[in-house]
Every structure is written in C-alpha cells, then in structure tokens.
C-alpha cells in the first residue's frame, strides 16, 4: 500500500502510467462520445412536448453532472495534498480547476441554447441554471486565486483550502437556490422537473454521462501530464522524455 503511495508521488512513474492509461482510454472516450451522440441525436425518440430540441440534454446533463463531480474531485485532491503533503494531489487539483470551469461553461451554454426554444428566452433564472452559474464562479475563483500567487506551491495550498471551503458550501448553496426558486417560481411550465424519462431516451443519456466522465478523466490526465513536464523542466526524467521523443522522430534531426 505504502509503496503504491510512494510511486503515486513520483512524477516519472505517474507520467508513464498516465501515458499507458491514455493510450486505451482516449480511443474508448471518443468511441463512447460518438456512439452516445449518434444514438441520442438520431435514434432516440423525440420528446412529445419539446420535439427535437430536447436532444441537447445529451450534452447539457452530462456536462452539468460531471462539472459538479469535478469540483469534488478537485476538493478531495486538495484535501489529500494538504493532509499528506502529496505533490501529485496538488498537480491533480490544479489541473482539475480549468476543466471543471470549461464543463460548467458548456453546461451553461447548452442550457441557454436549450432555453431558447423551450422558454423563448436565452436566459432564465431557473434553480438549476443559477446553481450552475454559481458553480462556474466558484471554479473561476479557484483559477483566479491560483494565478494570483507568484509562489506556485503557496498557490496550490491556498486553492486547496478554498476548494474545501467551497465543498462545504456547495450543498448549502444548491439547497438555498432551490428554496429560493420554489418561492419565486413563475407560472410557466415546470420543465426542469422531468417527468419520468422513457428508457429509450434514458439509455443514450446514461451512455453520454459515462462518456463525459471518461472525457473528464482524459482531460485531467493530459492536463496533469503537461503540468508535470512544466514543473519538472530541467530534471533528468523530463530530459529523457524529450530525448526519447526526438529519437522517434528519426535520426535526421540533429540534436
């Protein structure tokens, strides 16, 4: 167990392992995304009320679900980095924030695109979308805090603390926004409380959620790898990686 922990803390090991994971995970992700999109966009039955416009949930819902999960991944990585002072957890946490922000942004944009045909307006202060917007701000806060610190080791610790504070707050924020919305609910159709979904619609959705989780994992690993290279610039293992990469390009490249 402990030796595994030690390996996990070693950049070259992590770089190698993540490379071999990506070699099969990346194609799998693309396959899942392709199958899920085609299934959801072309073959799933149209909604009897919203027609074809509902199909955007195949992007909206997975992006939103994974965006929230990514925050918890970030916070857990932050907690691990604070408690066990594990460098790799810091790298994971730092790499998680921009991906989470991007997913949240995707969720917001797809929500707006969905809102136009449904409510007739791009933006509605619906409970779920409002929570999403706040989650987006929470991510931006972490990213901005990291950027503001010159000392990157301090930046990682500060962001870990902030993301833990956010973790405690997210349930409170979500609940309070729900409550706020129920108080001010306009008389229009209650649309986000989906009626039970038909399984023909649900299956591609579940597949897309799985695909987005894989996509998140791939992005996280890729982001971590580039961060590892950046932090390790000048060390021996990075030099070896660079030399190996040059070697594969052929002997014509003079070193």
Partner 1 sequence: MKTAPLLPFLRASLRRQLLLAYRRPVDTVNPLLFFLLVVTLFPLGIGPDPSQLSEFAPGILWIVALLASLMAAEGMFRSDYEDGSLEQLLLSPQPLYLSALSYVFAHWLLTGLPLTLISPLFAMMLQLPAEALPVLLASMALGTAVLSLLGSIGAALTVSLKRGGMLISLIIMPLYIPVLIFGSSAVRFAVFGNDSQPQLLLIAGMLSLAIALAPFAIAAGLRISVDAG
Partner 2 sequence: MSEPLINASGLCLERGGRQLLSNFELQVGSGELVLIEGANGSGKTTLLRSLAGLSELGQAGTITRNCEQLLYLGHKFGIKLQLSPAENLHWFCHSQGLDPAGINSALDRVGLYGYEDVLCQSLSAGQQRRVNLARLYLSSGGLWLLDEPFTAIDRDGVKALTQTLIDQVAGGGSVVLTSHQDLPLDVPLRRVILGATA
Q: Where along the sequence are the contacts to partner 2 (CB under 8 A)? A: 150-151, 153-154, 157
Q: How far is CA 88 from CA 4, 165, 248, in A?
A: 13, 21, 28
When the beta carbons of 8 and 79 are compared against partner 1, the nearer one is 79
The backbone torsions φ and ψ at residue 119, rounded to the nearest 5 degrees and listed phi first, read -105, -10
Cβ 89 to partner 1, closest distance in Å?
16
- Give 45's DSSP letter: P
For residue 171, what are its two tokens?
């349930």
Closest distance of CB 51 from partner 1, Å: 35
Closest approach of partner 1 to the CB of residue 148, in Å? 5
Instruction: Say which entry of partner 1, partner 2, none residue 164 contacts (CB below 5 to 8 A, set by partner kind).
Output: partner 1
- Interaction partner, residue 195 (partner 2, partner 1, none; CB < 5-8 Å by kind): none
Whether residue 229 contacts residue 238, with contact meaning beta carbons closer than 8 Å, is answered with yes
CB of 90 to partner 2, least distance (A): 11
Q: Which is nearer to partner 1, 21 or 154 (CB)?
A: 154
Nearest residue (CB) to partner 1, 13 versus 149: 149
Q: Note the residue count of the chain.
A: 255
Q: Which residues bind partner 1 (CB under 8 A)?
A: 82, 134, 137-138, 140-142, 144-145, 148-151, 154, 157-158, 161-162, 164-166, 168-169, 172-173, 175-177, 179-180, 183
Nearest CA among 35, 89, 129, 205 for reference residue 121: 129
Q: Which residues contact 148 (CB under 8 A, 6 or more apart)?
A: 155
Strand-pair partners of 51: 47
Instruction: Residue 17: name its binding partner from partner 2, partner 1, none (Cβ under 5 to 8 Å by kind).
Output: none
Q: Closest approach of Cβ 84 to partner 1, in Å?
A: 15
CB of 137 to partner 1, least distance (A): 4
In 3D space, the residue among 54, 66, 61 whose CA is nearest the CA of residue 114 turns out to be 54
**Residue closer to partner 1, measured from CB, 156 or 218:** 156
**CA quadruple 94, 213, 41, 53: dihedral, nearest 10:** -60
Cα Dmax for the chain = 71
Contact 66, 216 (CB under 8 A): yes
The binder of 168, among partner 2, partner 1, none, by C-beta within 5 to 8 A per type, is: partner 1
């Amino acid at each position: 167990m402990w030796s595994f922990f030690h390996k996990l803390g070693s950049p070259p090991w992590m770089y190698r392992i993540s490379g071999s994971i990506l070699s099969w995970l990346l194609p799998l992700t693309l396959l899942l995304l392709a199958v899920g999109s085609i299934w959801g966009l072309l073959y799933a039955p149209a909604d009897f009320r919203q027609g074809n416009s509902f199909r955007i949930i195949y992007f909206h819902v997975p992006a939103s679900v994974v965006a929230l999960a990514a925050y918890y991944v970030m916070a857990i990585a932050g907690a691990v980095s604070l408690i066990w002072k594990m460098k790799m957890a810091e790298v994971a946490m730092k790499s998680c924030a921009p991906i989470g922000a991007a997913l949240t942004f995707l969720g917001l944009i797809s929500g707006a695109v969905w809102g136009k045909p449904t409510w007739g307006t791009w933006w509605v202060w619906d409970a779920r979308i409002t929570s999403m917007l706040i989650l987006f701000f929470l991510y931006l806060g972490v990213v901005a805090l990291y950027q503001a610190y010159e000392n990157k080791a301090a930046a990682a610790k500060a962001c870990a603390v902030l993301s833990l504070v956010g973790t405690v707050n997210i349930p409170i924020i979500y609940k309070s926004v729900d409550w706020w919305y129920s108080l001010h609910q306009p008389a229009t159709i209650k649309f986000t409380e989906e009626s039970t979904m038909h399984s023909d619609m649900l299956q591609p959705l579940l597949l897309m959620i799985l695909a987005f989780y894989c996509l998140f994992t791939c992005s996280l690993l890729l982001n971590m790898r580039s961060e590892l290279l950046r932090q390790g610039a000048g060390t021996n293992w990075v030099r070896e990686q660079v030399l190996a990469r040059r070697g594969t390009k052929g002997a014509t490249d003079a070193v």
